[in-house]
């Protein structure tokens, strides 16, 4: 049986008979006596030669030998005292005849290339095409690979050569990324010059194991009264923000980022499939409130190809992990994962994978679970750093039971559901008290907050039920009227302007005051102004009380009564 291996020598000059004899002997020894040998003249090769045999290439051109030296030098960067090692390597380096596995493009289009010949390539490995375009292996078949392209596929042609890099997809990471806007590959797109990175992290990595984690106990304050009081988020938690289009999902995420100012928390905002103008608006808001100093924006806009949208959240998570393993707390926003799932569906269908429910591939659950499971609070032995994830998902007509929303709800530790009817009625943030939940709950809440909000959700639930039953009634008894007025006042308290966060001590004052029925004598239209004056009064006259609550995390009965008494005085003085 013949080997059918064809060895081709490319060079600008034909080999001499002695050289040809050596080449033939090398090919026969390496690939068997039946291997064929031939010469092809290539004027582009100025010096040296290139020998291809099957899927292997021996590159003895100037460029090939230089690349060989580059690889050897780059391999030293993970070691200490790298400069002396590089000098020694360059001084004593001699090129070697190394076989480099190469493949051939058999089809290309829509950001997908199908490649044959790379039998040793692995899932997630980066490939380099002849034109310099980069791609990543996403599909493995017996005789071909499916590769997604990160650059314009117009530069990739059928029959062109593909090379392995033996590196998994990753991005450069480092402290210099803070305050910058980058794309899914970590390249700056803000026009402010190159970013000097500290290291390189793979975009896909294993989530911390159970023994490497610790319980979520430290609050991640959003500054939003409706969330911090009833659906607390802890550092290391994954809390889903879900709702219809244009109901304030991004606003909640941005408010949370703005509220981290001065709290030693690094923020990463990942925009997936958003318009470039929307990303610009987000950046401008963060700059306006001084939040870009501790934030990195990673943008895969609607004009980017699907492969960049697919890899964006994993790249953002890799950057977050760089800071987490330094012992720092990180907040990452994925806005939004429904567009991410659509991009992955497009890639999967183009790769020829079998469609399942709603044409999504069978592994669409794993798509997001392997991303969100990387959010954790590390054990003290590993530095105690954390990644808190706020994934955003868009629903259609409030359908939380749809395929992608239910998948992500089952992965996360709770959800903030934003209701369209509430939003359009002026209740903003439009948090639905009944469908929202935090599965970490009071574990990530100060004892003072837990004590002050006791009974709040029940009061709001009773108000909503009573409002439904009494909306057609014209004659109500006095007790019912008081209950409705009290509930309406509570709902007004939960209205909050964007980028106007409350501190935890301010929230405790507001809720304690409200549950003592101090608002009963305040007109509905004046509640916002009263709250503003009340907090100003406490900062002026009772600053020590606010500091004590924050420092101890406790609310004594005496302090609670002090808040109620001061609030009643403020209500009586209010005009």
Q: Which residues contact 123 (CB under 8 A, 6 or more apart)?
A: 137, 138, 140
pLDDT tens-digit map of 180-200: 999 999 999 999 999 999 889
Q: State residue 2's pLDDT score.
A: 47
**Element spanning 389, H or E:** strand 386-394
Q: Is 482 labeled as catalytic in the residue annotation?
A: no
Q: Which of 134, 353, 439, 464 is catalytic?
A: 439
Question: Is it the case that residue 4 has pLDDT exceeding 80?
Answer: no
Residue 455 reports pLDDT greater than 50 = yes
Percent of residues, the chain, with pLDDT higher than 90 = 67
Compute the average pLDDT of residues 347-353.
93
Average pLDDT, the chain: 89
Task: Indicate if the pLDDT at residue 1 is higher than 50.
Answer: no
pLDDT at res. 174 = 94
Q: Cβ(448)–Cβ(553) under 8 Å?
A: yes
| Mean pLDDT confidence for 256-272 | 96
Q: Is the pLDDT of residue 474 over 70?
A: no
Buried b (16+ CB within 10 A) or exposed e, 399-417: ebeeebbebbbebbbbbbb
Query: In this predicted model, which residue has the larger pLDDT, 575 or 278?
Result: 278
pLDDT tens sequence across 555-566: 999 999 999 999
Most confident among 12-21, 57-66, 561-570 (mean pLDDT): 561-570
| pLDDT at residue number 41 | 81
Mean pLDDT of 426-452: 91
Using CA atoms, how far apart are residues 109 and 157, in angstroms rounded to an integer?
9
Which percentage of the chain shows pLDDT scores above 70?
92
Query: What is the per-residue pLDDT for 363?
Result: 93
| Token pair 């030998």: residue | 65
What would the pLDDT profile of 136-183 be if each residue is shown by its tens digit? 999 998 889 999 999 888 889 998 889 888 888 999 999 999 999 999
Give the phi and the psi of residue 163 in degrees, each rounded to 5.
-120, 150
Provide DSSP, 99-143: -EEEEEEEEEETTEEEEES-TT--TTEEEEETTS-EEEEEEE-SS
Q: What is the pLDDT of residues 216-240, one digit of tens each?
A: 999 999 999 999 999 999 999 999 9
pLDDT value of residue 513: 95
**pLDDT score recorded for residue 68:** 65
| pLDDT bracket for residue 50 (50, 70, 90) | confident
pLDDT digits (tens, 9 = 90+) for 311-340: 999 999 999 999 999 999 999 999 989 999
CA-to-CA dists, residue 295 to 298, 383, 494, angstroms: 10, 21, 27
What confidence category does residue 26 fall into, taking pLDDT thresholds of 50, 70 and 90?
confident
Q: How far apart are CA 255 and CA 416, in angstroms?
A: 14
Report pLDDT digits (tens) over 271-289: 999 999 999 999 999 999 9
Residues in the chain, total? 575
Greater confidence, 53 or 489? 489
Contacts of 501 (CB under 8 A, 6+ apart): 221, 222, 223, 224, 255, 258, 259
| Residue 71: pLDDT over 80 | no
Rounded to whole angstroms, the Cα distance separating 238 from 501 reads: 21
Query: pLDDT tens digits, residue range 508-553?
Result: 999 999 999 999 889 999 999 999 999 999 999 999 999 999 999 9
Name the strands in the sheet holding 386-394, side by side, starting at the edge strand that comes first in the sequence: 181-182, 295-300, 265-272, 329-335, 386-394, 240-243, 414-418, 437-438
Phi, psi of 540 (to 5 degrees): -80, -45
Confidence of residue 93 (pLDDT cuts 50, 70, 90): very low
- pLDDT for 88 beyond 80: no
Q: Say if strands 125-129 and 112-116 run parallel, antiparallel, or are unpaired.
A: unpaired
């Amino acid at each position: 049986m013949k080997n059918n291996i064809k060895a081709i020598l490319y060079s600008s000059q034909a080999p001499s008979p002695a050289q040809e004899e050596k080449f033939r002997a090398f090919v026969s020894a390496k690939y068997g006596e039946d291997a064929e040998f031939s010469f092809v003249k290539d004027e582009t090769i100025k010096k040296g030669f290139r020998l291809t045999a099957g899927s292997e290439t021996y590159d003895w051109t100037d460029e090939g030998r230089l690349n060989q030296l580059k690889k050897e030098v780059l391999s030293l960067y993970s070691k200490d005292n790298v400069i002396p090692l590089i000098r020694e390597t360059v001084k004593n380096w001699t090129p070697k005849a190394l076989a480099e596995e190469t493949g051939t493009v058999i089809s290309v289009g829509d950001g997908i290339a199908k490649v044959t010949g790379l039998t040793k390539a692995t899932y997630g490995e980066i490939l380099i095409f002849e034109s310099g375009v980069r791609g990543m292996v996403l599909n493995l078949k017996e005789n071909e690979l499916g590769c997604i392209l990160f650059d314009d596929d117009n530069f990739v042609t059928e029959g062109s050569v593909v090379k392995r890099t033996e590196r998994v997809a990753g991005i450069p990471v480092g402290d210099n990324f803070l305050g910058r806007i980058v794309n899914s590959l970590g390249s700056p797109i803000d026009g402010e010059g190159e970013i000097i990175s500290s290291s390189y992290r793979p975009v896909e990595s294993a989530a911390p194991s159970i023994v490497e984690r610790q319980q979520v106990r430290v609050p991640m304050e959003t500054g939003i009264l409706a969330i911090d009081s009833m659906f607390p988020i802890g550092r290391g938690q994954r809390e889903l923000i879900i709702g219809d289009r244009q109901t304030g999902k991004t606003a909640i995420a941005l408010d949370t980022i703005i509220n981290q100012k001065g709290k030693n928390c690094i923020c990463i905002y990942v925009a997936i499939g958003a318009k470039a103008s929307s990303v610009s608006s987000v950046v401008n808001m963060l700059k306006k409130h001084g939040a870009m100093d501790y934030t990195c924006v990673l943008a895969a806009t609607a004009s980017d190809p699907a492969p960049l949208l697919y890899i964006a959240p994993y790249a953002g998570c890799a950057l977050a992990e760089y800071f987490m393993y330094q012992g720092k707390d990180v907040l990452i926003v994925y806005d939004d994962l429904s567009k991410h799932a659509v991009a992955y569906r497009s890639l999967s269908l183009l790769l020829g994978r079998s469609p399942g429910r709603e044409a999504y591939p069978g592994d669409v659950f794993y798509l997001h679970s392997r991303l969100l499971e990387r959010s954790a609070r590390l054990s003290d032995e590993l530095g105690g750093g954390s990644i808190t994830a706020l994934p955003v998902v868009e629903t259609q007509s409030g359908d939380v039971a749809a395929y992608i929303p239910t998948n992500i709800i089952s992965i996360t530790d709770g959800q903030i559901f934003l209701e369209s009817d509430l939003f359009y009625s002026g209740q903003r943030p439009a948090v639905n008290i009944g469908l929202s939940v935090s599965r970490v709950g009071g574990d990530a809440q100060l004892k003072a907050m837990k004590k002050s909000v006791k009974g709040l959700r029940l009061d709001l639930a009773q108000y909503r039920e009573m409002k439904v039953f009494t909306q057609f009634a014209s004659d109500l008894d006095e007790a019912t009227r008081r209950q409705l007025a009290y509930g309406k006042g509570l709902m007004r308290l939960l209205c909050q302007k964007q980028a106007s966060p409350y501190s935890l001590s301010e929230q405790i004052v507001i809720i304690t005051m409200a549950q003592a029925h101090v608002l009963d004598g305040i007109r509905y239209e004046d509640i916002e102004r009263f709250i503003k004056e009340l907090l100003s009064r406490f900062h002026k006259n009772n600053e020590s009380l606010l500091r004590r609550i924050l420092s101890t995390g406790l609310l004594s009965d005496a302090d609670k009564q002090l808040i109620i008494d001061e609030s009643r005085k403020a209500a009586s003085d209010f005009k």
